[in-house]
Structure 1
């Protein structure tokens, strides 16, 4: 049973997490990476995934609402079956490790995704991979595993779409549909298998909906005013520090 008697600081952190989740779904890349270790520190590794998932699902609706017509479904059909394989592997791993190891796995995945973000930036504009089944399979399995274990598949999926050379709106629209489908598919697994979602956790998520909505609308304005370089540097540094705390 989840107690809702959080400290003032914890409520502030939860509200900020809700805002960042909302912002991440309307074109502010990478910002939700900070949410993952923050929630893991508050609730524990495995339990935090059940808190975060409904937040992401609500935010996904905002993202699909804005960009649903721009999705490139041929790439989704290539990726989704393999993503579900990755989810199945992560589901098993989550059942056999304790919470300490769960948090360690999340931290390692966060560091991996930060590395992928930095590597992607250095290789921007280069044709890194061909449009082959094995690349779709590899990224799909990795993405599915990362999204089930820690909801951190964003950078992995971004690398796949960048390799396909999608334009901006198609990039956002395809990602929006991918995560909506995957996240809604994970929902019953969290309820019946991991048992990390219940009425108490859903109550907390609904209480954070105004913060998620505010973040979604504020993100559209914010991304126009902050330089991409400054923003990404700040996100990477703070996220790396937060992930490091999970290993302590």
Structure 2
């Protein structure tokens, strides 16, 4: 029995929940989608879904954007996306799975470290260049730019409304740029678009649940659940091998 639709729906459910609640679930979404599309093609299925949620976020939070921060980040984000596109075009699917699993574990370890050892890297003059480049690179390879971008924006000392609006615009811009790289590699095509369409009902359900449950679940509880799921997804990828 083909369960691809179920895995696509689960990935989209998590996407909607993440975008309208705590965020930081990007490291789980791609491994879930890869259960239906093993390999880099999963990126092509996720990209339109992310773009749709970003557009909705921008419409919702269209005021108080910090354009100065946005202007500093985007050029470096483009550099990171370009580098990530080159990497995607030069590795085979099996290597991609291994690289992705290792990258997920490394980012998880970084988030745990930063809980107890805050780094001043996000407050120096090179912060925008580092954050933008790394977010662009990890964003196209693993849809994993959210946590790092959040850390950078928090250090900019913006008010809450400006933080939310600026974050929404940054990810919309980066995800639009990612489309060109994915199309050039043939990873975004009619087949992947059909996969994206399958997950739309689950996406909207996830948005609804994220909005409702965010009010009753603590951030610490969600963080524990997210990190547990990330660890399992990374372990699955590292031990998975295509036949």
Give the TM-score normalised by structure 1: 0.89
Once the two structures are superposed, the pairs formed by residues 106-125 of structure 1 within 5 Å of their partners are 106-122=100-116
User: Relative to structure 1, is the Cα distance of residues 214 and 11 closer, same or farther in structure 2, using a 3 angstrom cutoff?
Assistant: same
Alignment pair present for 1:154 and 2:150: no
Which residue of the other structure, out of 77, 82, 106, is the alignment partner of 1:83?
77
What's the Cα RMSD here?
A: 1.9
User: Relative to structure 1, is the Cα distance of residues 197 and 6 closer, same or farther in structure 2, using a 3 angstrom cutoff?
Assistant: farther
2:227 is matched with 236
Deviations, residues 7-41 of structure 1 (Å, cap 9, x unaligned): 2xx43332121121112222322123211112224
Alignment pair present for 1:145 and 2:137: yes
Distance in 2 (alpha carbons) for counterparts of 1:63 and 1:120: 27
Alignment pair present for 1:177 and 2:173: no
Alignment pair present for 1:94 and 2:85: no
User: Relative to structure 1, is the Cα distance of residues 239 and 130 closer, same or farther in structure 2, using a 3 angstrom cutoff?
Assistant: closer
Structure 2 residues without counterparts, runs of 5 or longer:
none
Which residue of the other structure, out of 202, 225, 232, is the alignment partner of 1:211?
202
Distance in 1 (alpha carbons) for counterparts of 2:122 and 2:27: 28
User: Relative to structure 1, is the Cα distance of residues 122 and 63 closer, same or farther in structure 2, using a 3 angstrom cutoff?
Assistant: farther
The number of equivalent residue pairs is 239
User: Relative to structure 1, is the Cα distance of residues 169 and 117 closer, same or farther in structure 2, using a 3 angstrom cutoff?
Assistant: farther
Give the TM-score normalised by structure 2: 0.90
- How much has 1:239 moved relative to structure 2? 1.1
Which residue of the other structure, out of 63, 66, 70, is the alignment partner of 1:69?
63
2:2 is matched with 6
Q: Is the 8 A contact 2:131 2:149 kept in 1?
A: yes
Q: Is the 8 A contact 2:13 2:202 kept in 1?
A: yes
- How much has 1:75 moved relative to structure 2? 0.8
Other structure's SS at 1:43 match:
coil
Deviations, residues 190-240 of structure 1 (Å, cap 9, x unaligned): 12x210111121122122122212212221111001111111101101111
- How much has 1:243 moved relative to structure 2? 1.1
